[in-house]
Structure 1
Amino acid sequence: KKSIPVRGAAIFNENLSKILLVQGTESDSWSFPRGKISKDENDIDCCIREVKEQIGFDLTDYIDDNQFIERNIQGKNYKIFLISGVSEVFNFKPQVRNEIDKIEWFDFKKISKTMYKSNIKYYLINSMMRPLSMWLRHQRQIKNED
């Protein structure tokens, strides 16, 4: 049995200092908003749909199909799109019931420093920390050149 690919988004605020994470109702760990791809759905459409269902935010104008991190973890294929410039004041709210318990902004530097020391559990983030940090560094360089 082939496992269904998972698509989601690493969402950063306007100054790229915070990342938006969700905690599922049946989980004690924090992760990217994400979900399984539907039959005949492409990666981008799946990501947009899952994020909208989980946090109520439409990524359509933010997503770039060339900006993503892909990992195979425990036999599952994860493709997480990299999103920047999302306002922290947006009223994030799950559109589906009994799936998402909490939605919060996290200080990205703090996560990378305390990931293995804190009692906060993260899922997927640890395996993507390095490429996320490199992408952020690149985004900040682009911003500073403008």
Structure 2
Amino acid sequence: MAAGGLHRSSSTPMRNSLPPQELLDDLCSRFVLNVPKEDLESFERILFLLEQAHWFYEDNSVEQNPSLKSLTFKEFTSLMFNSCAALRPYIAHIDDIYKDFTSYKFRVPVTGAIILDESYERCLLVKGWKAGSSWSFPRGKKSKDEEDHSCAVREVLEETGFDVSKLLKLDDFLEVVIGQQRVRLYIIAGVKEDTAFAPLTKKEISEISWHRLDELYPVGDEAISRGVNGLKLYMVAPFLVSLKAWISAHPPPTTQKQDSSARGTCVWKAKNNSAGGTSTETPLVQAGTGSGLEPQIADTAPGKSFRNFRFDTASIFQSMEAAFSAN
């Protein structure tokens, strides 16, 4: 029996079968073993590497082989820890390692962009791939040593296919701190509504649309909210008051007004969206009232601390040499 109660079939692979050992070995070698030494010094870095392996598996292996099962990141992590010789000694601690990583991710700074049309009355929102996902501004977590604006350009390009680098101004941004996570969004104003958008990543974004700002204001003060038009929003409400103030101080150069009766305008939609997503983000609970937005993260307290953990890199390198010699 494989990790996490998953069964591996020994017979001819059936639809939704688990990845064969050869594929798992290849993913382990490509994404875990063949990395700089410093990336093997903590479980947090190891699981970020496994995230990349998971995306590769979902975007390439599963699409090219319909018999392979689409896995959640937790399922994939369990399989990799059970299959990779360098990780197998720590399989008994997989639940704590995964919980600790989830908590850590909610402390990694996030950057992105608020893209406004030429009238400053509409903004561009993206919808996640998973069924029931909320709409949000395009944004994502910073990589190690990455600058805020560079992360914003990269994430917006990945999620919308639009390069904001020439329009981004370093001083035009809004920033909030939610829980232990800093979120910075750069304001990209004056983008034409007929701009072509399409995500560069697979199975992350299901739809991209322009939405009227006056329809996004939440009924309540929740970080996860619904606009006055009923649209389900994620990490939009905390920025709207400051965004309105910025627009008042920076009026659009054009006097063109949008039709106030117009609803959201879809500019891209996935043809075959799957109901089974692979997101591991944990939702935020209701924000506090008053001037401070301080929502707490739901059930993401870390497990046993592995912050000071160091892998036995010598044995890992020995495993790599043995593998290379065998080939």
Asked if TM exceeds 0.5, the reply is: yes
Superposed, which structure 2 residues align to 1:95-106 within 5 Å?
95-106=200-211
Give structure 2 stretches of 5+ with no counterpart.
Answer: 1-103, 220-225, 255-327
1:5 deviation in Å?
0.5
1:74 deviation in Å?
2.5
Give structure 1 stretches of 5+ with no counterpart.
Answer: none
Match of 1:25 among 102, 107, 129: 129
Match of 2:247 among 132, 136, 142: 136
Alpha-carbon distance in 2 for matches of 1:110, 1:116: 6
Asked if 1 retains the 8 angstrom alpha-carbon contact of 2:173 and 2:187, the reply is: yes
The normalised TM-score by structure 1 is 0.90
Q: Which has the higher helix share?
A: 2
> 2:236 maps to which residue?
125
Structure 1 stretches (4+) deviating beyond 3 angstroms?
113-118
The normalised TM-score by structure 2 is 0.42
Change (3 A) 1:116 1:53: closer
Which protein has the larger Cα radius of gyration, Structure 1 or Structure 2?
Answer: 2
Alpha-carbon distance in 1 for matches of 2:227, 2:114: 20
Asked if 1 retains the 8 angstrom alpha-carbon contact of 2:115 and 2:124, the reply is: yes
> 1:6 maps to which residue?
110
Q: Secondary structure in 2 aligned to 1:130?
A: helix
> 1:61 maps to which residue?
166
Kindly indicate whether structure 1 or structure 2 has the higher relative contact order, using CA contacts under 8 Å at least 6 residues apart: 1
> 2:157 maps to which residue?
52
Alpha-carbon distance in 2 for matches of 1:84, 1:116: 22
Alpha-carbon distance in 2 for matches of 1:124, 1:86: 22
1:90 deviation in Å?
1.2
Percent identical residues: 34
Q: Secondary structure in 1 aligned to 2:108?
A: coil
Q: Secondary structure in 2 aligned to 1:49?
A: helix
Let me know the Cα RMSD of the aligned residues: 1.8
> 2:199 maps to which residue?
94
Q: Which has the higher strand share?
A: 1
Between the two proteins, the alignment pairs up a number of residues equal to 143
1:65 deviation in Å?
0.7
